[in-house]
Amino acid sequence: MTLGDAKAVVAPGSELPRVLLVDDEVSVRRVLERALSVSYRVVAVGSAEAAVTEVRGEPFDAVLSDVNLSGMSGVELLRRVRELDLDLPFLLMTGAPNVEHAAHAVEYGALRYLFKPIDLVELRKTLATAVSMRRLAAARRQSLEALGQGAHGAADRAGLDAVVNGAIASLRVAWQPIVSWPRRRVAGYEALMRSRLPTPEALLDAAESAGRAVELGRLMRAATAEAGRLAPVADLYANIRPHDLLDESIYDPAAPLSRIASRVVLEVTERASLNSVPALKERLAKLRKLGYRIGLDDLGAGYAGLASFALLEPEVVKIDVQLVRDVHRSATRQRLIALLLGACRDLKASCIAEGVELPGERDALADLGCELLQGFLFARPDFAFPEPRW
């Protein structure tokens, strides 16, 4: 190294990218450690458990791991690493090539699958790519988060599973009162999903991407039944999506929420179309036979709201915040809400206006004859059943 060399001005070791090398064979560790230590700070460990401990400590720029570790496979180690670090590039090495296994590993987020004996030129190239990818991935995730997109932040399958597992472990039910304004009484509480992800939408998106939306729905229904036992009033409102109607467990009379079905309004929100649910009428009939009432959520927000009205024949209709906002200042909104209230009356559905934030909105809705109201004006959602402000 000459004085003119850029590396010469860097304090020894301080700026070298850190690589975690995991292999239970001492000889492999020794060879690779020696080969890489010129360009990397290598931490070599002999077991997956030791690797997890290392990842918990100082951050690494890449992991290079054997596929067959005693006690834990390389892919399993990758999943554990993703619980701690969503961006850490992961390279797998194997002595026994297996295409199926390689494809699986790559699906879960292994950047490369290298075959032993390791070609050191290829390894150096791959590691250099990995280190720059790590920096890009972190920057990309931060900018997506700043834009409010990709809120779950996972870039691969192992990361997604880790995010969904963490979110599901932190799943909680928040409650928001639905009030009868003329009576100054709480008419029910809506169960709202909360987790360590920033919004319920982020959790739903992550679960959907991971193919676990049905599982999430089931867990949320069970959590609603469990938390609902402490409710100070009878009526509980639970949100379901069209895919939940395809889950047989929702029709199981022994399911936790089914046991209290006569207290529950299932609010159906349309993310996917209700038209994609086969035998919808029979499914709704089964739910009603269990004792559930059916609610149509967010009427006025989507494209298919009125069609859903006809498909669901709901007992309860919730008018979306988009129609409610500033209703006291808009004759058009007043007319539209009056129309919906008329339709609800004719079809014997009760009607709830949601997203009420202003006294003016509350009074205009009351004047129109909408008695059931929900929104921040009365109470924000909270884990302990919040008392409304009157």
Positions touching ligand G (CB under 6 A) are: 176, 192, 200, 239, 269, 297-298, 321, 354-357, 375-376, 381
Of residues 87 and 267, the one with the C-beta less far from Mn ion: 267
In whole angstroms, what is the distance from residue 318 CA to residue 300 CA? 9
**In terms of CB distance, is 239 or 308 closer to Mn ion?**
239
Nearest-approach distance from CB 377 to ligand G, in angstroms: 6
- Report helix angle 48-56 to 74-84, nearest 10: 20
Least distance from ligand G to the Cβ atom of residue 271, Å: 11
Which of Mn ion, ligand G, none has residue 176 at its interface (CB below 5 to 8 Å by kind)? ligand G
Cα separations in angstroms, 112 against 104, 119, 341: 11, 13, 60
Token look-up 């969503």 returns 86
Contacted entry of ligand G, Mn ion, none for residue 386, CB cut-off 5 to 8 Å set by kind: none
CB closer to Mn ion out of 55 and 238 = 238
321 binds, among Mn ion, ligand G, none (CB under 5 to 8 A by kind): ligand G
Is 267 near Mn ion (CB under 5 A)? yes
Q: Which does 376 bind (CB under 5 to 8 A by kind): ligand G, Mn ion, none?
A: ligand G
With CB atoms as reference, the residue minimizing the distance to ligand G is 375
DSSP annotation of 382 reads B
The binding track of 278-297 with respect to Mn ion, each residue x by CB under 5 A or -, is: -------------------x
- Give dist(CA 231, CA 339) in Å, integer: 33
The answer to whether the beta carbons of residues 337 and 319 sit under 8 Å apart is yes
- The reply to whether 239 sits near Mn ion by the rule CB under 5 A is yes
Site string for Mn ion, 294-313 (x = CB under 5 A): ---x----------------
- Whether the Cβ atoms of residue 167 and residue 158 lie closer than 8 Å to each other: no
Q: Residue 286 corresponds to which amino acid?
A: K
Task: Find out whether 280 and 245 touch, Cβ atoms under 8 Å.
Answer: yes
Strand partners, 373: 179, 353
Q: 10 Å Cβ neighbour count for 319?
A: 31
Q: Which residue is associated with the tokens 């209703």? A: 327
Our CB check for ligand G shows the closer of 195 and 239 to be 239
Q: Does 270 bind Mn ion (CB under 5 A)?
A: no
Closer of 83 and 357 to ligand G (Cβ): 357
* d(C-alpha 24, C-alpha 27), whole Å: 9
Residue 381's binding partner among ligand G, Mn ion, none (Cβ under 5 to 8 angstroms by kind) is ligand G
Which residues contact Mn ion by CB under 5 A?
A: 239, 267, 297
